[in-house]
Amino acid sequence: MKNPINSLKRFIEQGSDPLGEEMLSELELNRPDADGEALAAPRRSLFSEKPRRPRLIHALYAASSVALCLALIGILLYTVSGLPSFGGADTLADSEVSAFYIENGLKDTGAGNIIAPIILSYRGFDTLGESHVLFIAAVAVMLLLRPAPSDKSALLRAYEYGDDKEEPHDDLILMAGGRVIVPLILMFGVYIILNGNISPGGGFSGGAVIGAGLIMYLSIYGYGPASRFMTLRVYRAVSACALGLYSLFKTYHFVTGFNGIESVFSAGIPGTIFSGGMLLYLNIFVGTVVALTMYALFTLFRKGDF
Partner 1 sequence: MLWQNIPILLIVLPLGLSSLIALLRPRAAKLAVLGVISLCTAAALYLLIRVNALGEAFTVKMGEVGAPFGNELYVSHTEALLCLAFDAIMLLSLLAGMRRADEEIPEDRKSLFFTVCSLLLAALNAITLTNDIFSGYVFLEIATIAAAALIFVRRGEGALFASMRYMLMNLLGSGLFLLGLSMMYSLTGELLFPQMLRRSKAILADGRYMGALSACLILLSLGLAVKSALYPFHTWLPNAYSLSTPAASSLLSSLVSKAYIFLFIKIMLRGAGLEAFSESGAANVILVYAVLAIVIGSVDAIQQHNIRRMVSYSSVAQIGYIFMAAALGTKEGCAAAVFQILAHSFAKAMLFPAVDRLVEVSGGEENFRDLRGSGYRAPLAGAAFAIGAFSITGIPLLGGFSAKVFISEAAWAAGGLRMYLALAALAVSTVLNVIYFLRTMITVYRRGERFELKPAGNRPFSFTLGVGFFALVNLYLGMGAGNVMDIILRGINIWN
Helix or strand or coil: residue 279? helix
Task: Candidates 3, 16, 25, 251: give the one binding partner 1 (CB under 8 A).
Answer: 251
Distance (Å, rounded) from C-alpha 270 to C-alpha 129?
Answer: 28
Provide the terminal-to-terminal Cα distance of the chain, rounded to the nearest Å.
Answer: 26
Instruction: Report the nearest approach of partner 1 to the CB of residue 34 (Å).
Output: 9
Residue type, 215: I
- 157 contributes a contact to partner 1 by CB under 8 A: no
Minimum distance, C-beta of residue 191 to partner 1, in the bound complex (Å):
26
Q: In this structure, how many other beta carbons lie within 10 angstroms of the beta carbon of residue 192?
A: 23
Smallest separation (angstroms) from partner 1 to the CB of 74: 12
> Quick check: 200 binds partner 1 (CB under 8 A)?
no
Q: Amino acid letter at 88?
A: G
Candidate list 8, 39, 174, 190; residue touching partner 1; CB under 8 A: 39
Q: Is-contact 285 214, C-beta < 8 A?
A: no
- 158 counts as binding partner 1 under rule CB under 8 A: no
CA distance 284 to 290: 10
Q: Which positions from 42 through 61 interact with partner 1, judged by CB under 8 A?
A: 46-47, 49
Contacts 24+ apart (CB under 8 A), 99-104: none
Q: Binder to partner 1 among 247, 270, 281, 300 (CB under 8 A)?
A: 247
Choose the stretch contacting partner 1; rule: CB under 8 A; options: 144-152, 160-168, 171-179, 197-205: 144-152
Amino acid at position 142, single letter: M
Q: Select 109 or 195, whichever has its Cβ closest to partner 1.
A: 109
Q: Which of 15, 32, 54, 224 binds partner 1 (CB under 8 A)?
A: 32
Q: Which of 123, 193, 72, 86 is nearest to 64 (CA)?
A: 72
Pair 112, 106: CB distance under 8 Å: yes
Contacting residues toward partner 1, per CB under 8 A:
27, 31-33, 35-39, 46-47, 49, 75-76, 79-80, 82-84, 86, 91-92, 95-97, 100-101, 104, 108, 121-126, 128-130, 132-133, 135-137, 139-140, 142-144, 146, 148-149, 236-237, 239-240, 243-244, 247-248, 250-251, 253-259
